[in-house]
A and B are shown apart, each in its own frame.
Chain A
Amino acid sequence: MDSSGSLDSGEEEPPDKIRKIIEDKVGEPVIYLAESDLNRDGFFGREYLAVIDGRILVLNRDYEIIGEYRLRDIDSIEVRDYLGGGEVEVEMAGRYITLIRFTRSKVDEFRKLVRVVYGIKYGGLKPEYLNEDYSSNNNSAKKTDTLRRLLKYLLPYKKLGALALALSLILTGLNLAPPYLFKILIDDVLTGGNVGLLPNIIAMLIAVYALKTIVDIGRSYILSVLSQKVVFDMRKELFEHIQKLSLGFYDKYSSGRLLSRITSDTSRIMWFLTWGVQSLVINTLTVVGIGVIIFSIDWRLSLFALAPVPIVVAGIYKFKKKSRRIYHKAWRKWSDVNVILVDTIPGAIVVKSFNREDYEFRRFISRLRDVVKANINVTKLRLEFFPALGFIMSLGGAVIWWIGGMEVLKGTLTLGTLTAFISYMWQFYGPIQSLSNLIQPLQEALTSGERVFEILNVKPEIEDQPDSVDFEFKGHIKFENVCFGYEKYVDTVRDINLEIRPGEVVGIVGPSGSGKTTLMKLLLRFYDPSSGRILIDGVDIRKIKLSSLRRQIGIVLQEPILFSGTIAHNIAYGKLDAEPEEIIAAAKAAYAHNFIMKLPLAYDSPVGERGSRLSGGERQRIAIARALITDPKILILDEATSSVDTITERLIQKALENLIKGRTTIIIAHRLSTVKNADKIVVMHNGRIVEVGTHSELLRRNGLYKRLWEAQFEETKVEAIKVR
């Protein structure tokens, strides 16, 4: 093994201490310090980058300075991203130098460092970059807190919960009664000869069973009602909460994860809070109750009776652990089979045209065999375990019959007592198994609880201020030195200065990823800029009521999102009380009326889930009608024509011309021809505005716009040849 530090034998030093050591060494305060987890030879290890006034130092794990660079000699400093790692690279005197290497785990720290260096070099270092502890995640709560917070959901239903608990206690008591009645039956009636007692005992037995049935029904009903109420409250709270959160939150959690938190996590919690808690109480009480009873009957016999319990408990525990793996494997194998079905049945045309029927068949069969094998393993495990367990318990029973039988023969124990003892003993194992079954759901419910609370703990980032205003826009927009990044310390857009006058049509173009859409998201205040500000009619949009802002800005997205419901419903989404003639007018302006009237149910036609019954162009035109119905002062068209064919595009173009009249319009376009006639074209590149001007001005300038224009012109020619 190489000795160059592949094994990290040193103790983890706290960051403050390291900073102190380095400060002592160089005799200057360290502005920013970042620790890497790789050394320059590419082995796991430690090196440091320290930013001090005017210099960057590289130190090795023994805090020896192995590199020193003056900031004014550095032309650029950048983080380079690689698979599984990255490096900080500086450009000095035309050469590129690696300062430090690190794995992906440390990327954020070094990005931050680079920002700090830029801040020092060019001014404008923001103190929050130094102080803010961005990695700490205070959302996750402790388990006990989670439990306490979960139980709070039961509080509004105290009475119902108490009733259910009382019924559970009664049920436990009733479960313990029959063996005692058996004892009286055998000792006093069958062997004692007190025949007159027989009808009474039978009547009591029937009464106990009847009562048990009734209490059980009542308890189950109450628990179901309780659990439905609790889960309703929780889902309501969650949905209400996430509606308030900013888009940044939706970016962080995929929709699938959010959906499952609202549906399955809450169900799991519901089950635990109601059935789980009750089952815990009943089973614990039953175990304790039976323990007390049998020990008071005969403690010696009880010791023998309970001897198998530890073995049974250990066995159940072991089975649980093993079975989870084996059941999971069976489930996984089954979903592998499903994958093939989901692929090949809708993709039948591909399978057939490539002659791959045999191949798919063999693949399917081999996976199906795996399913068979996995299911047989499940059966094997069950057969290994349950019969053995049953045998051990029966063995315990036999021992009791042996010892107890001797005592009955000696006359020290009545036959009735022995019978009661044995039936109590058999009743003992049920609750034990139920209790061990509860462990996993309990853990799952706590995890689910954590996940739900993690979301409830997120504070809405974008909220109205108390002094937010609501006013009618004229449509004047101004971006002032706006910077913003989705990830901290990595700006997606930078130093944006842009003024748009009321009624102006502005095109925004640039390569994908240049920050066009981000600008619009900032204008709609889905995010707030990290620095700089955006003004509408001279008012900072952070001071405008969100409802006012978004009502007066209409947006048509590249991928129109429709909701299930009718076409009329979708068009009127922005104005629920729209009159029918307004809906028709909006649809006509969007060139959608004609195709809608051709549908049998016209505007009353359901669009299907997410608009699946309509074509892309039809969906797009409905989205345009939707934007139009609110009569917005400012309109944003985000690549609204990029995903449709040329004929539809022409229709949409016409629709857009209607839409633009008399509004401030911002058109984000991929096809430059779309924005050719705009009053002003803004060219973006790498998050910055690089050119502004009219189409002809920009062509004359010979810059990025001209290159893009020529490239697209070539593309169009190629397309035209293809069509011919």
Chain B
Amino acid sequence: MKWINLVDPKEVEARFSEKGNALTLKVNGVTYSEVVPRKPFPLSRPNFIIFTTRDGEEICAVKDYTKMDPNSVKAVEKLLNKMYFIPKIKRVIALNYEGGAYVWAVETDKGRREFKTRGRRIYQMDDGKIVITDTHGNVYLIENPARLDRRSREMLEEIV
């Protein structure tokens, strides 16, 4: 494929950069420094990664970064977890309508959180995942709405 340099994850080795906050990447014997991973499909295909330089110049892409060697995965995830902070909602504690906005209190995999949403910023993906963007632009994900507890589902159904 001409437009995208898609490589086998096994051919890519990533280490946390010595300068910090970036990766050193070895692809087919060539080493690149100051590399950052980026997700073109952060929600629908979260394992698809494009590696670019800090300036955004593209080096290569892998379909599933978790298939890289374990040390590389660890290094990549160290950055990804920071760059893509998308808490997953495990339980909806309260959902109220106040002054033109929904006020949520939720339990996520990153802890308890309260936030507000306004307008139609709750989006259901084709595969059923629910993406919620709050008034500040933070993104929350409900991976499998059907698996939530009953009370959470009932509250959610009112607005989805």
Q: Give chain A's interface residues, CB within 8 Å of chain B.
A: 565-566, 568-569, 580-582, 584-586, 588-589, 594, 596-597, 600-604, 606
Interface string of B1-14 (1 = CB under 8 A from A): 11110100000000
Q: How far is the CB of A576 from chain B (nearest CB, A)?
A: 10
Q: A585-B4, A601-B43, A602-B38 are in contact. List 17 more A-B contacts (CB 8 A).
A: A569-B126, A580-B40, A580-B45, A580-B48, A580-B63, A581-B4, A581-B6, A581-B63, A582-B1, A588-B4, A600-B137, A600-B139, A601-B131, A602-B42, A604-B43, A604-B131, A606-B123
Contact residues in B for A600 (Cβ distance below 8 Å): 137, 139
Enumerate chain A residues within 8 angstroms of B4, measured Cβ to Cβ.
581, 584-585, 588
A588 to B6, CA, bound (A): 14
Min CB–CB distance A578 → chain B (angstroms) = 12
Q: Is the CB of A604 within 8 A of B44?
A: yes
What is the chain B residue whose CB lies nearest that of A606? B123
Please provide the chain B residues from 11 to 68 with a CB less than 8 Å away from any CB of chain A in the complex. Answer: 38-45, 48, 50, 56, 61, 63
Q: Does B125 contact A (CB under 8 A)?
A: yes
**When chains A and B are docked, how far (Å) is the Cα of A582 from the Cα of B6?**
10
5 contacts between A and B (CB under 8 A): A588-B3, A597-B50, A603-B41, A604-B43, A604-B44
Q: Which size bracket describes the interface of B in this complex?
A: 20 to 34
Main secondary structure of the interface of A (DSSP, over half): helix
Residues of A within 8 A of B39 (CB): 602
Contacts of B56 in A (CB 8 A): 594, 597
Q: Which residues of B contact A596 (CB under 8 A)?
A: 40
What are the interface flags for B62-106 relative to A under an 8 Å C-beta threshold, 1 for contact and 0 otherwise? 010000000000000000000000000000000000000000000
**Considering the chains assembled together, what is the distance between the CA atoms of A67 and B101 in angstroms?**
77
Interface of B is mostly: loop
Which residue of chain B is the closest to A589 with respect to CB atoms?
A: B3
A603 near B40 (CB under 8 angstroms)?
A: yes
The one of B6, B41, B123, B131 that contacts A602, using a Cβ cutoff of 8 Å: B41
Q: How far is the CA of A43 from the CA of B34 in the complex (A)?
A: 87
Residues of B within 8 A of A589 (CB): 3
- Is A602 a contact partner of B1 (Cβ separation < 8 A)? no
| Residues of A contacting B63 in the complex (Cβ-Cβ under 8 angstroms) | 580-581
In whole angstroms, what is the CA distance A603 to B46 when docked? 11
Closest Cβ–Cβ distance, residue B147 to chain A (whole Å): 21
Quote the shortest CB–CB distance from A618 to chain B (angstroms).
Answer: 16
Q: Is the CB of B3 within 8 A of A584?
A: yes
How many angstroms between the C-alpha atoms of A586 and B2 in the bound complex? Answer: 10
Taking the closest CB of chain A, its distance from the CB of B108, in whole angstroms, is 18
What are the residues of chain A within 8 A of B2 when measuring CB–CB? 585
Q: How far is the CB of B67 from chain A (nearest CB, A)?
A: 15
- Determine the chain A residues whose CB is within 8 A of the CB of B61 once the complex forms: 581, 584
- In the complex, what distance in Å separates the CA atom of A601 from the CA atom of B50? 14
A118: shortest Cβ distance to chain B, in Å?
Answer: 53
A566 & B125 in contact (Cβ 8 Å cutoff): yes
Q: In the assembled complex, which residues on chain A have CB atoms less than 8 Å from the CB atom of B3?
A: 584-586, 588-589
